[in-house]
Amino acid sequence: MILQAASRSTTVYLIGRSLQGASSSAIWVIGLAIIVDSVESNQIGRYMGYFSLAMSVGNLLGPLLGGIVLEYGGYYAVFGMAFAVLGVDATLRFCMIEKSVVRGWKLPASESQSAILTGTALASTLPMATVPSSGSETDGEKSSVTVRVSTETSTEDKDVDKGNQHSVFSLLKSPRLLFTLWACMVPALILAAFESTLPITVLQKFHWDSVGGGLIFITLTLPTFLSPLTGQFSDKHGARLCATLGFLGMVPPLVCLRFVNHNTLSQKVLLCVLLTFTGLGVSIVYAPGMAEVERIVAERESDMQGEDRDGGEGTKRGGRASAYGLVNMAYAFGILCGPLVGGFVKKEGGLATLGWALGLISGVTGIGSYLMIGGWIGSRRARKRESRSMMSSN
């Protein structure tokens, strides 16, 4: 950020932007992993809704506030606002307490006694090492050390194998995760396409200035305040239903953008209404997609623990970090392709063609969500039929 503020050449500015993007990506992934690690599995969609709300508001209001501050405060005032936000962010991060730190705190007397009894019960179930009956205390200690070292070594080997199973390439072998990444990319592509085309559209059709071109994004931002509710709905009724309804629900308003073709008050109201419903669809689909990523990783961990129950906390975090790193890449890809797709399609065919293109992408993704979110629907039905037959046979 300092390089960008003090830059006097394009090269230095690009270096600053690159460093900013790298740090933002790292914080983005770590933040998602912390959220998932801190909430219950049946509340992931709700808290991902809060995350979606914060991210959407930041992405859409950032350019608006930046433009206003630039116009009335100047170039350095924009960076002053950014540094103030970073200061608040750093303060909150220092105040955060991680779960690993909480586990090291002393428990109350009753909980300590319960933990001791639980530990004793667990110790009784562990295999005992055979130690020679005749031997000094030193020999016994050596035997204990040998058993401990061999156990730790085998555990480390297993953790390495599990880490390989959680690698990026291993996760990409899952068709379910690949489609989920696509479903996370589409909302970013739609928003980015509008960010690059809406200001020009309202300037050409309604003769609005830059302030009006920025205020039009409020119609896309307001529905994101419902993201926690849509995430809670996803937790209760399933991500498949929520994602399918959201993507298919965006098709009509996107296609109806073709009816915005002249400069009247009714046309301005129509554009705002269509953008509001589009923003509502984006707020509906984003939280289920993020929650689906967590469920995919959790199911992989459950399968691995079914084979071996010595999985470590670091392995779990590594799997989630890798998965959310892929989500970050998908989101960044949508942000990258959105302006390119939006600008090219609008230039060649206008707002009507852009609406058709985005509506087609959203509709195909909605059908895919019904088939893939939560696992391939055919296999789910097959398992249900198999379970019914087993129950009838019994």
Q: Is the pLDDT of residue 144 over 90?
A: no
Q: How far apart are CA 296 and CA 159, in angstroms?
A: 19
Measured torsion, CA atoms of residues 326, 328, 333, 339, in degrees rounded to the nearest 10? 170
Give the contacts of 240 (CB within 8 A, at least 6 positions apart).
369, 370, 373, 374, 377
Under 8 Å between Cβ of 332 and 25: yes
Lowest mean pLDDT among 133-147, 260-274, 292-306: 133-147
pLDDT of residue 349: 86
Position 110 confidence tier, pLDDT thresholds 50, 70, 90 = low
Write out pLDDT tens, residues 186-241: 999 999 999 889 988 888 888 887 778 878 888 888 888 888 888 888 888 888 89
Lowest mean pLDDT among 251-265, 319-333, 337-351: 319-333
pLDDT of residue 306: 55
Average pLDDT over the chain, rounded to whole? 76
pLDDT of residue 228: 83
Q: How far apart are CA 303 and CA 327, in angstroms?
A: 22
pLDDT of residue 108: 57
pLDDT of residue 278: 94
pLDDT of residue 46: 78
Residue 193 sits at the vertex; the CA angle it makes with 24 and 17, to the nearest 5 degrees, is 30
* Amino acid letter for position 234: S
User: H helices of 74-174, where?
Assistant: 75-95, 99-103, 109-125, 137-165, 168-171
As to burial, measured by CB atoms within 10 angstroms (0-12 exposed, 13-18 middle, 19+ buried), residue 267 is middle
**89/275: higher pLDDT:** 275
Could you write out the DSSP letters of every residue in 47-83? Answer: HHHHHHHHHHHHHHHHHHHHHHHHHHH-HHHHHHHHH
Write out pLDDT tens, residues 343-380: 899 888 888 999 999 999 999 999 999 998 888 887 76
Domain boundaries, the chain: 41-72+173-378
Q: Is the pLDDT of residue 275 over 90?
A: yes
pLDDT of residue 33: 73
- Determine the average pLDDT of the residues in 127-145: 46
Q: How far apart are CA 177 and CA 139, in angstroms?
A: 52
pLDDT of residue 171: 80
pLDDT of residue 148: 45
What is the percentage of the chain residues whose pLDDT exceeds 70? 73
Write out pLDDT tens, residues 41-65: 777 777 777 877 787 777 667 777 8
What is the percentage of the chain residues whose pLDDT exceeds 90? 20
**363/16: higher pLDDT:** 363
pLDDT of residue 362: 96
The radius of gyration of the chain's CA atoms, rounded to the nearest angstrom, is: 26
Under 8 Å between Cβ of 213 and 335: no
Identify the CATH homologous superfamily for domain 41-72+173-378: MFS general substrate transporter like domains (1.20.1250.20)
Q: How far apart are CA 59 and CA 207, in angstroms?
A: 25
Position 266 confidence tier, pLDDT thresholds 50, 70, 90 = very high
As to burial, measured by CB atoms within 10 angstroms (0-12 exposed, 13-18 middle, 19+ buried), residue 386 is exposed
Position 381 confidence tier, pLDDT thresholds 50, 70, 90 = low
Q: Is the pLDDT of residue 260 over 70?
A: yes
- Determine the average pLDDT of the residues in 97-123: 57
Task: Please name which of 217, 204, 220, 191 lies closest in space to residue 342, comparing C-alpha atoms.
Answer: 191
Q: How far apart are CA 341 and CA 276, in angstroms?
A: 21
Cα–Cα distances in Å, from 196 out to 16, 129, 369?
23, 68, 27
Q: Is the pLDDT of residue 182 over 60?
A: yes
pLDDT of residue 109: 53
For the entire predicted model, the pTM comes to 0.70
